[in-house]
């Protein structure tokens, strides 16, 4: 079933081998020789552009709709799309085989489209290794969002859209995401410190703190320093454990449209330079 009124309608992921699911999901299997198609299609379906294509079908049930979606392969955008797809996906050792059989040295030649943003690890791509280890995955909220922004731009370019058309798609078809982005705040280390997203309940501080606890309204104007939040983490097999998260002030929001502009200009320049070299 498809959520047409939520933040996203097309929600996809690569699942490891030997995983199963009920009929509430649709899955596609790719042969070993078609692994690149798997990664390209996955990256495209991560984008708002493919989400938009699905939205305008008006369907409430996915069914076989994706069967007719194009896999845009063999373009200058392939490597950048695959690199971002892999680093968003390979977050646990269950993806070791996918990473190690997909890795190429070209992943190390990539870089962020925001080269002076301190919230982005500017050495992330150059330090990717052939063998899976936890640091080959994007793990901060801010970096994962940036990778998705760049996938949106790359997908739009691959489909021959303009920057204005991409921004129009975002403005018209994704009102919930726009609302969430306007009130999601990041600390200096890329952690979400506060968000109104209904898909991220429990992430960051509550707007108003409970008795004896800090809330977002108490800390939002901090210019320097750190603030701590203690949570009970029940996401790991070993059972619940107490964790303390430290947030570094000041806190800022992102502007997706501005980020689209920056990424578009950076990719245009990058691909133009590559064509000159070739």
* Segment 206-261, tens digit of pLDDT: 999 888 889 999 999 999 999 999 999 888 888 899 999 999 999 999 999 999 99
Its pTM stands at 0.95
Is residue 278 scored above 80 in pLDDT?
no
Q: List the single range of 50-54, 78-82, 197-201, 237-241 with lowest mean pLDDT.
A: 237-241
Exposure letters 45-63 (e unless 16+ CB within 10 A, then b): bbbbbbbbbbbeeeeeebe
Supply the pLDDT for residue 137.
98
Strand partners, 227: 247
User: For 145-158, what is the mean pLDDT?
Assistant: 98
DSSP-based three-state secondary structure for 193:
strand
CB distance 245 to 229 below 8 Å: yes
User: For 89-93, what is the mean pLDDT?
Assistant: 96
CB distance 251 to 186 below 8 Å: yes
Is residue 45 scored above 80 in pLDDT?
yes
pLDDT tier for residue 276 given thresholds of 50, 70 and 90 = confident
Supply the pLDDT for residue 155.
98
pLDDT tier for residue 4 given thresholds of 50, 70 and 90 = confident
Is residue 267 scored above 90 in pLDDT?
yes
pLDDT (tens digit per residue) in 122-135: 999 999 999 999 99
Q: Which secondary-structure segment (H or E) carries 209?
A: none
Most confident of 3-7, 22-26, 93-97: 93-97
CB distance 192 to 204 below 8 Å: yes
Supply the pLDDT for residue 78.
96
Q: How far apart are CA 139 and CA 59, in angstroms?
A: 33
Supply the pLDDT for residue 277.
77
Supply the pLDDT for residue 264.
98
User: For 77-102, what is the mean pLDDT?
Assistant: 97
Mean pLDDT of the chain: 95
Supply the pLDDT for residue 102.
96
DSSP-based three-state secondary structure for 158:
helix
Supply the pLDDT for residue 100.
97
Is residue 266 scored above 90 in pLDDT?
yes
The domain limits of the chain are 32-181+255-277, 184-248
Which percentage of the chain shows pLDDT scores above 70? Answer: 100
């Amino acid at each position: 079933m498809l959520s047409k009124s939520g933040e996203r309608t097309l929600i996809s992921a690569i699942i490891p081998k030997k995983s199963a699911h009920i009929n509430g999901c649709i899955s596609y299997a790719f042969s070993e020789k078609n692994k690149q198609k798997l990664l390209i299609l996955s990256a495209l379906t991560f984008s708002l552009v493919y989400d938009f294509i699905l939205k305008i079908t008006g369907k409430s049930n996915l069914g076989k709709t994706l069967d007719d979606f194009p896999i845009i392969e063999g373009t200058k955008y392939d490597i950048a799309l695959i690199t971002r797809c892999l680093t968003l996906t390979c977050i646990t050792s269950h993806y070791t085989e996918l990473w190690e059989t997909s890795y190429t040295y070209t992943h190390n030649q990539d870089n962020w489209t925001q080269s002076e943003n301190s919230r982005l690890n500017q050495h992330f791509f150059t330090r990717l290794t052939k063998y899976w280890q936890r640091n080959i995955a994007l793990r901060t909220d801010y970096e994962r969002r940036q990778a998705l922004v760049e996938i949106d731009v790359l997908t739009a370019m691959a489909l021959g859209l303009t920057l204005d058309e991409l921004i129009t798609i975002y403005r018209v078809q994704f009102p919930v995401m726009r609302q969430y982005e306007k009130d999601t705040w990041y600390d200096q280390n890329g952690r979400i410190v506060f968000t109104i997203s209904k898909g991220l309940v429990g992430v960051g501080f509550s707007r108003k703190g409970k008795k004896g606890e800090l809330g977002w309204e108490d800390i939002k104007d901090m210019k320097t320093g750190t603030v701590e939040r203690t949570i009970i983490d029940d996401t790991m097999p070993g059972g619940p454990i107490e964790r303390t998260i430290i947030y570094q002030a000041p806190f800022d929001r992102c502007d997706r449209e501005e980020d689209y502009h920056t990424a578009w200009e950076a990719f245009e320049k990058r691909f133009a330079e590559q064509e000159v070299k070739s």
